[in-house]
Structures are given as C-alpha cells and as structure tokens.
Amino acid sequence: MSRIGKKPIVIPEGVTVELKDNLVSVKGPKGELSHQFKNDVVIEVKDNEILVSLPENHSEWAPTYHGTARALINNMVKGVSEGYKIALEIKGTGYRAALQGDTLELIVGYSDHKFMKLPEGVKCEVPTQTDIVLTGYDKQVLGQFAAHVRGVRPPEPYHGKGIRYKGENVRRKEGKSAK
C-alpha cells in the first residue's frame, strides 16, 4: 500500500469538496476543479479530511493508482485554495516578452513574433521584459502551458540563450577548440 496514499488530505477553510460516484469536485476561492477517478480506489470525506484507500477486493493494478489518486486530489485542493506559480526567464540578446491582453508575445530570435493565447484559468505577468510569471489554480494546465512557452525557444547548451524556468541549471558545452 502506498505511503503517500495513506496520508489524509486536510480540507482548508473556504474549500468545499463534493463526492459522487468517485467524481470529486473541489470549489475554493481561486476556482473550481473536478476529476473522475477509477473504481480502483475508495474516496471518503470525513471530519474535514479526505481519505483515499483501496477496496477489499482490489485488482492487481489498484495499488499503483492509490498514491496517484491521493496526489491528484491534494493538487486540486491546494490549487483552489492557494494556487500555483511558475516563473520563467528569457536569456539572449534582443529576446523579450510582452503581454497584450490575454496573449503573450515572445520575441526570441525568429523572423516573426510568437503569440501564445493564455488558457482559461492561467494568468500571466511580465514584470520585466525578460521575466514571465504564470499563475493558476490547475497544476496540470499551468505546467503544460509553461512547457509550451519554454518549447518556443528551449535553452541551448553553447551560449545558454532561450527560455528557461527560473533557477533551472542549463549544462553548458565547450565550443570547438582551435588547433
């Protein structure tokens, strides 16, 4: 049995959880999320806590889903109560970002500018031309959008130019050696 799956999830103040046929709906100050879980786990709401356990006659693969289900519910609860934040930074001469309404404009060395529409539930701030701060309540959507932004111009190993996560360590390679 999963050690993570055994831990109860404490429901913070201002968050409501509804459970119906393994469909978990979580509402909070930041937003609203829901997810349909398999019947391989039993989800219960007791005394301001959510408990995830395995049924008695569980399948062979149910223990592998136990910890995952608990982690998904915990991410939902944390997202609607606190939210998530991902910071990106741009390195390179002339590389910059700008926000135009709900569209992120990236100027990163291509002949044309790259425009990325923000998905629903994701907010963006551009405090400086080389910093991007993404916030949202759905961890999966936020992480996927951040990966798409980074994928426009991933950091390259020779000069270090590109878009990277704040604090990401990019391994640098040595260039050609003169003979």
Q: 175 lies in a domain?
A: no
- The Cα 175–Cα 80 span in angstroms is 47
pLDDT score recorded for residue 39: 86
Range of the domain at 117: 84-165
> 156 and 98: one domain?
yes
- 163, 152 contact by CB (below 8 A): yes
Q: In the listed set 62, 81, 100, which residue is the last one of a domain according to the structure?
A: 81
> 156 and 93: one domain?
yes
> 64 and 121: one domain?
no
> 76 and 140: one domain?
no
Select from 85, 81, 79 the least CA-distant residue to 135. Answer: 85
Q: In the listed set 46, 65, 81, which residue is the last one of a domain according to the structure?
A: 81
> Which CATH number covers residue 28?
3.90.930.12
Question: What's the pTM value of the predicted model, to 2 decimals?
Answer: 0.90
pLDDT score recorded for residue 1: 59
Q: 91 lies in a domain?
A: yes
Q: What is the DSSP letter of 15?
A: -
- pLDDT tens per residue, the chain (179 residues)? 578 888 999 999 999 999 999 899 999 999 999 999 988 899 999 989 999 999 888 888 888 888 999 999 999 999 999 999 999 999 999 999 999 999 999 999 999 999 999 999 999 999 999 999 999 999 999 999 999 999 999 999 999 899 999 999 999 998 888 66
- For 151, half-sphere exposure in the C-beta direction (CA atoms, 13 angstrom radius) is 7
Query: Domains in the chain: how many in total?
Result: 2
Q: In the listed set 81, 101, 121, which residue is the last one of a domain according to the structure?
A: 81
pLDDT score recorded for residue 40: 86
pLDDT score recorded for residue 142: 97
